[in-house]
Structures are given as C-alpha cells and as structure tokens.
A and B are shown apart, each in its own frame.
Chain A
Amino acid sequence: MQKLRTALIIGATSAAITFLFGGWSAVVVGVIAGAVIGMTYGQRSALRTPNGIGREAVVPGLVGGLVVVLGGVIHQFIVRPATGQSPFFTHTLRFFGSNAQIDSITVLIISSVVAILAAAAAAFLIGSAQGLPPDKRNRQIAFALGGFLLLFPFYEQITNLNWMGALITVQIYILLALGLNIVVGYAGLLDLGYAAFFAIGAYTTALLNSPRIEIQWNFWLVIWIAAAVAAIAGIVLGAPTLPLRGDYLAIVTLGFGEIVPVIFRNLIAVTIREPFTRFCFVGCDPAVEVRIACLYSCEGPLNLTGGEAGVNPIGRPVIPFTPDSLFGSSSYLPWYFLVLALIVFSIFLISRLRDSRIGRAWMAMREDELAASQMGIDPVKTKLLAFSMGATFSGFAGAFYGAYIAAIFPGVFDFSVSVIILCMVILGGLGNMIGVIIGGILIMGTDRLFLPQIATLLKKFMQVSVLPNVSNEALRDFLSTSVDPIQMRLALFGIVLVIMMLVRPEGLVPSAERRAELHAGEEPRGAPVTADEPTT
C-alpha cells in the first residue's frame, strides 16, 4: 500500500480532470496519468531490465487509472445531478460525417475499462523506457509521445470532447513561451513586453494577407516574413536595453510592450510627408506642397491597421492539391497539426541553438556578464541575438494566430498576455524547454479548459442546488454574479507568480544549476545570512 501511494496521488490529481469532464475524458487522462506513473516508478525501480521495470509499473498504473475512472464516476452520478443534469443521457459520436448515438452508461463502462487498461499500458511503456540507455529511452518516449499526440485529435473529434479549441490556444501559447524562454531562461533578460512581438507577428501576417487591404500573399511565405520582421523588431527593441541592468531592462521592455499595441491600435489615419518642404506657414499653395512633399497615402489618410476594429478577415493557409477550405472554420484538425508541426520545428531549432556556441554564450552571460565579456563573448551581439531569436518564435505564433482566428484586434496583445507567458516560463522552470511546455499546459490549460468548465458547473450548481435555498436577496445576487472562477484568473496568475518566487523560483522542472543559483543566499538551516562578504 505504501508503494502505491504515489500512484494514488498522481491518479487523484488527474482525477480532478475527469471529475470536471467525465465521460470520454477518462481515457485521455488515464493515459497521461499512466505515463507519469510509469516515469516515477520506473525511475525509482531497483530492477535492471526494461521489461521487469515495466511490469513493476503496471499495477500502480492500474491503480492510478482506477482512481481516474472513479473521478469520472463521481462526475456522472454526483456532479451532474448536483448541477441539474441527468446522469443518463445520450452521447453523440462522430465518424467523419455520420453520427452514432450511445447512452451514457455504456460510455462510462467502455471509457472506464479502456482508461484503466490504457493507463496500465502507458505505465508499462514509459516505465520500461526508464530501464533503457538514454538515447534508446528518449527515442521510446518520443515515439510514445508522438503516437499520443497524433492519435489524440482523432479521438477528441470522434468523442466530441470539445477540447480542441482550447488546446490549440494552449499550443499557441506554448510556442510563445518557448520563445520567451530563450530571452528570460537562456539569456537571463527579463522581458516584460513579449506580447509586442506577438502583435508584430500577427499584424505582419494580417497586413500581408488580408483581402481588406488588397494584399494577398501566400500564408506559407507570409509566416516566414512575419518571423523575420519579428526578429528584426527584436533587435530594434532590444538595442535600447543594452546598457541597462535587470529591473530597468524589464521596465523598458514593458514600455515597448505597451507602445507597440498602442501604435497598432492608432495607425488609423496615416499620412507621411517630408518635413522640410512643409516649412511654409503663410502664403503657400497647399496643393503644390502636397504633391511635392507627400510620400505616402496622399489622397487621404490611410487606415492602416483598422484601429480598434482590427484587421478582418485574414486569409487562410492553402496547401496545393487540397481543397481551399481545408484550413477553414469547420475542422480543427488541420490547425492542430499545423501548430503541432510548428512546435516540433521550434523545439528542434531551439535545442540546436541551446547546444550551439550562441546558446552557451547566453548562459555564460546570464551567469556573469562581466566574466563572460572577459572571455571574448560580445555582450551586444549576444543580447541582440537573444531578443531576436526569442522574437522569431513569437513571429511564428503570431502568424499562426492571425490565420487561425482569421482576424486580429489590438486589445488582444496587452500586458496580461506578456505576464501569462512569463508565468508559464517561471512555473515550468527557467531555461528548461520541457518545463516551459509543462508550465504552458498547466497555466493555459487551467485558463482555457479548467476554469471555464468549473465556472459552468459552478453556475449550474448555484442555480440548482444553492440559490433556491438562499433567501437573502443581496446574498443571492452576490452568489450568482460574483462567484465566477473565470473572473478570478488574474488573481490566479498573480498568486502563481508570488508563490513561485517565495517557494520555488527555479520552477517545477528546473536544472540543477538553476536551483543552486537561486537558493545560494540561504543557509542550509538556521537564520538567513545577510549581505556582502567583507575583505578581512
């Protein structure tokens, strides 16, 4: 029983998801829980053979799956009635065009059985991988992960889980977080205005590919241009920060992060005229003056970015030999695979960067800029490259986002976006790509999947079970409007940041050096030590 404790904990945490969603989600959650159980037990195992370790992980996997399934059962028979829904209803399955109906009890049974078996299988697979030498292990895990990521969307579509929209958003933000990780995690430059690059990527795509402005370039070309423009923007916005240290650098990036969306929001009446030829206050012929001096948009001011209304619509990607409507609003699948491909591509690029000379230069500079410069690392080039490379990925993300939503509005790119991405990087672990991805899934998943679902259930719960029993008018009004988890999201991100800083600044999945670095000022036990070391 003691040995199964970890499996129970992992299962219980994952069961929170099935508790909220029930039904078919059990299988997905079961697989993930099983994989995590497999990894934990596999790493702890004293055995040597992969098969042996895998077999050892099977029972914990079954246990974890069982707990997950239990969450689903509770959802169906306790949560649903409490929120005014019947435990007995019909699910619709979609098989590429035709539908099938199954009753909810059958669904529960099927998904539970499959979930438990899948959990055990995942535990075996990942657990046994722990017994392999590192490269084989990574390959096995990569295969398992890849298989999961490829099959999952089809499962989701068939079972009507309705997670896809949220998940694609999660993936966009993961792209952004990977980019910010270069700047903050590798190079150690606290960038608080990262949303500006996101905006630049999105607006570049929008302006080059919108029927509204009568430019329509191919998306596959535009995405590279957007990335390039973002990269250049990284250099331009990073340059003024070069002489600054830590907190001032952060404030300046914050400033830019605010200025850029303001610029995009307000380019609604653009006319550019050469200044010197306008030096005439009295007695000049305006028509002549305009013809000489005007350089851009002379017939009348140009509404470049659409202001508050944004750019709408934006053209969609088209793959040759496929129908034009493939990347449409009807199906999520093509989008999912596109952004997944972008993420895989980015991970590949970034790990190349990290292991290259420039990557090592970044880390050296992060540790000690002065020492690094003494060893021949040019801080100017290194910093600018960090900003530039970091911004490139937000260029990709912005391009995808623009095409996906098919419209962009300046209000989307505000400071809270920059902070949310920073939240992900900090939660996951500065400088660690896997950590950042996990942080991204946790934060955005909570924001786009969890919170809305909790909010919906809570609202129904209030209506059905609580409000009828509350007589006080004011209290009833309060409960129905103010108790809304979605409205608490700012506080949620804030609390994550504060708690992470106080308790675990190196993140959930840190590298060992980072942990040592960040806890250096602490005593192993006893009172905290103060300030500088003296010379005698």
Chain B
Amino acid sequence: MRPWQKVLIVAVNIYLLLFFGPVAGFDIFRIIPEIASKPSTLLQQLLIGIANGSIIAIIALGYTLVYGIIELVNFAHGDVYMLGAFMSLTIIGAFGVTAESTGAQKIVAILVAFLGAVAFTATANVTIERVAYRRLRNAPRLASLISAIGVSFILQNVGLFWGGLKAFFPIMGVNAAAPKAFPELIGRIDVFKDILGWNVPISFSTKDLLVITVASSLMIGLRLFVQYTRLGKAMRATAENRDAAKIMGIDVDRVIAFTFLLGGSLAGAAGLLVGLYNNTAVFTMGFTAGLRAFTSAVLGGIGNITGAMLGGFLIGILAAFSDQYFSSRWTNAWVFAVLVLVLVFRPTGLLGESIGQKA
C-alpha cells in the first residue's frame, strides 16, 4: 500500500471517530475544555488509574505467564481472581473485624486472609490445569480454549453458590447474586494532606498507597524470580521451546503446574487487594476484570512479563479516563475496542517479539 493511501485511511478513521465518537462519550469538543479547566482532575484520574491498573496488572501477569508457556488463553483466570476475593471475604468475615476493630485485629485478619486466599487460588489453579487442560495439550488449540470457557462458567457458578451461603458465612449477605460488601479495613487517610501536610488538590489515600506498593512488590518479585532463579529460568526455557526444555532434563509438567500456581497466587492476592480497595465483590467480577487484564497482557505483548505490567497500568489509566471523561457506561466497550485494535493491527503488542510458529 502506498504511503498516501495509508495516510488517507488513517485520516478517514480519525474523522469517523470524531463523527461518531460523541455517541460513545468520546466528544473531544467537550473533553478538551473540561480537562483544560480542571487539570487536577486529570492528575487525580491518573492516580486512580495507576491504583486500579496495578491490580489489573497482577491479574494480567497470570494470563501472560500461562499463554507464554502453553499458548492458552486461560479464560478461567479472571474467575480464579473472583474466588480469591470471595475467600478473602469469607476469612475476614470469620474474623469478624470491622472498621471499628483495633489495628492489630485488622492486620491479623488481613494477613490470614492473604495467606488463605493465595493458598486457595493457587491450589485451585493447579487443580484446574491438571483436570481440564493437561489432557488437551496435544489437541487442537481451540479445544483447550473451549475447555477454559467451560471452567470459567463452573467457577462463576461456584462464586454464585458461595455468595448464597449466608447460612454459614453471614458476611455474604442476603442475596446470592448481589455484590458483597467488604468492611472498611484500610482507613481513608490522605497521605498528602494528613500525613505529609501538603496542600494539593489531589487526594492519595492510604488505600491507594497500599494497593500500589503491594501490587508493585508482587510484580517486581515475580520479575526477579523469573529472571534470576533456577525455576524461573526453567519456566522461561519451557516457554521458549518445550521439547528443548525436556531435553535439558526439565520436568515440563511440573514447570507448567508451577506456572499455574504462580498465576493463581497472584490472582488470589489481587482478589484480596480489590476487596480492600473497592470494598465490594460480586460473582461476575471475574469476567470484567479478566477481560481488562487480558487486554492489558495483549497490549503489552502477550507472553512478556514487563509488557503485562505496562499494559495493566495503561488499561487502568484508560478505564479511569473513560469513566471520568467519556462515559462510564461505555468504558467496557472502549477497553474491548483496544483489545480488538491491538489484535488486528499489532498482535505482538507494545513490547512483544513475535512468538514463533510453534505447534
């Protein structure tokens, strides 16, 4: 295609975007003045985007690790995250801590919830791989994708069922399908204003701080693990070439199971974080979060760990901007649009190299 043809197509598409964009909330004639008049809102949304994005990034890591090693889009991963949130909720409910509890009580409850959720989701993920995916490793790839969709539905139903167990877990509330409320355990103390004493128009609460630090630590920890440890290198080797890894003496089945273990753990941690941050959980949250996380992984370059982290932040920021400036009702559509655009025009993502034509 000649250069001028390409320019023409891009120009036409931009025109169409300006034309029909306002229908989807993308009205730049409204947005630009709005940003100009209140720049602090922009920064605030940036912050919100980074906080939410860090949670999305952790989930995205699960998708990218699994795709990198067995080229499967693990549809059920978002629902494992949802189960992590439910498990955290159950444990916190069992402790009975509320906003009025003492700091020590809260910390204990949160720690136990963290360990419990992570252990639960890690085990669940490994079991799912063993039961639903392992036999299909040599089958046509769509078979494992369909199996993953099936697992996703099963897990959603588990979440629905769990949410109805108010008889055993009163914290689940009255309605099985309704969103559940997490108690407010992390105080909303503004770091800038209350702790540092700065007078800035942006608010940055301890919640944001917690989420961003924990998520970043997990991400950096994972990155270091995969880069420098023996098992991490075995994971990378298996992802690059499974047969060669076998020849090296790497137990590929174990490495794959471990990858699922890692991904599951991250999902569990994310579930707890989102519960503490947004104070809510619902059995359908895995689907939305999963799609956002998968989009992040694809945007950053599927199979690439740094890419998943970068993609997570970017999608988080996109979602925050969309909620604020376009229309929150259209945010899901915009995220999907990014997914479609990346897959069609740059399937290797921002940081990815092309994955070779493996079997």
Contacts and interface: CB of A to CB of B under 8 A. Distances in A.
A505 B145 CA distance: 12
Interface stretch (B17-25, B53-61, B99-107): B17-25
A258 B19 contact: no
Contacts of B20: 272
B154 A498 contact: yes
A529 B138 CA distance: 9
A243 B347 CA distance: 10
A478 interface: yes
Nearest to A490: B157
A513 B154 CA distance: 31
A274 B207 CA distance: 44
Contacts, number: 170
A518 B176 CA distance: 40
Interface string B125-155: 0000000100110111111111101111111
Contact of A495 (B19, B33, B141, B154): B154
B191 interface: no
A478 B339 contact: no
A8 B30 CA distance: 72
B167 A498 contact: no
B29 A278 contact: yes
Interface stretch (A167-175, A263-271, A318-326): A263-271
Given A272-B19, A272-B20, A415-B287, A258 B340 contact: no
Interface stretch (A26-34, A62-70, A249-257, A339-347): A249-257
Nearest to B329: A266
Contacts of B154: 490-491, 494-495, 498
Interface stretch (B40-48, B112-120, B158-166, B195-203): B158-166
B15 interface: yes
Interface stretch (B88-96, B314-322, B330-338): B330-338
Contacts of B135: 502
A475 B166 CA distance: 10
Contact of A531 (B142, B151, B359): B359
A501 B147 contact: yes
Given A494-B157, A497-B147, A246 B333 contact: no
A529 B139 CA distance: 11
B22 A487 contact: no
A232 B165 CA distance: 47
Contacts of A251: 73, 294, 339, 343
Contact of A259 (B29, B138, B333): B333
Contacts of B359: 531-532
B22, B136, B165, B287, most chain A CB atoms within 10 A:
B22
Given A267-B23, A271-B22, A487-B161, A501 B15 contact: no
Contact of A190 (B72, B138, B145, B336): B145
A498 B147 contact: yes
Contacts of B144: 501
B168 interface: yes
A488 to B, nearest CB: 6
B1 interface: no
B134 to A, nearest CB: 10
A256 B339 CA distance: 10
A262 B149 CA distance: 21
Given A474-B168, A490-B160, A247 B141 contact: yes
B156 interface: yes
Contacts of B266: none
B217 interface: no
Size range of the interface on A?
35 or more
A358 B332 CA distance: 36
A340 to B, nearest CB: 30
A496 B153 CA distance: 10
B154 to A, nearest CB: 4
Contact of A252 (B164, B287, B330, B344): B344
B146 A422 contact: yes
A246 B164 contact: no
Interface string B53-92: 0000000000000000001110000000000000000000
Interface in B149-194: 149-158, 160-161, 164-168, 176
Nearest to B159: A490
B145 A250 contact: yes
Nearest to A271: B22
Contact of B149 (A272, A482, A497, A529): A497
A486 to B, nearest CB: 11
A243 B344 contact: yes
Nearest to A304: B23
Contacts of B161: 482, 487-488
Contacts of B333: 258-259, 262-263, 266
B160 A240 contact: no
A502 B147 contact: yes
A244 interface: yes
Nearest to A280: B29
A281 interface: yes
Given A494-B153, A494-B154, A477 B332 contact: no
Contacts of B343: 244, 248, 251-252
Nearest to B344: A240
Contacts of B270: none
B145 to A, nearest CB: 5
B20, B153, B337, most chain A CB atoms within 10 A:
B153
A243 B71 CA distance: 18
Contact of A262 (B33, B176, B332): B332
Given A262-B332, A419-B153, A487-B160, A256 B340 contact: yes
Contacts of A415: 287
B243 interface: yes
A165 interface: no
B291 interface: yes
A278 B141 CA distance: 50
A405 B71 CA distance: 42
Contacts of B243: 530-531
Contacts of B71: 247
B249 to A, nearest CB: 16
Nearest to A262: B333
Contacts of B168: 474, 478
Contacts of B329: 262, 265-266
A190 B157 contact: no
A146 interface: no
Contacts of A246: 141-142, 145
A521 interface: yes
A493 interface: yes
Contacts of B22: 271-273
A528 interface: yes
B136 A502 contact: yes
A281 B340 contact: no
A430 to B, nearest CB: 10
A497 B146 contact: yes
A415 B149 CA distance: 11
B18, B149, B166, B327, most chain A CB atoms within 10 A:
B149
B165, B166, B333, B359, most chain A CB atoms within 10 A:
B333
Contacts of B141: 246-247
Contacts of B291: 258
B166 A477 contact: yes
Interface in A416-434: 416, 419, 422, 426
A275 interface: yes
Contacts of B153: 416, 419, 490-491, 493-494, 497
Contacts of A495: 150, 154
Interface string A217-249: 000000000000000000000001101101110
A490 B156 contact: yes
Given A250-B142, A259-B340, 4 more contacts: A247-B73, A252-B343, A263-B24, A498-B150
Of all A-B residue pairs in the complex, the 4 with the closest CB atoms, nearest first, are: A497-B150, A494-B153, A491-B157, A494-B154
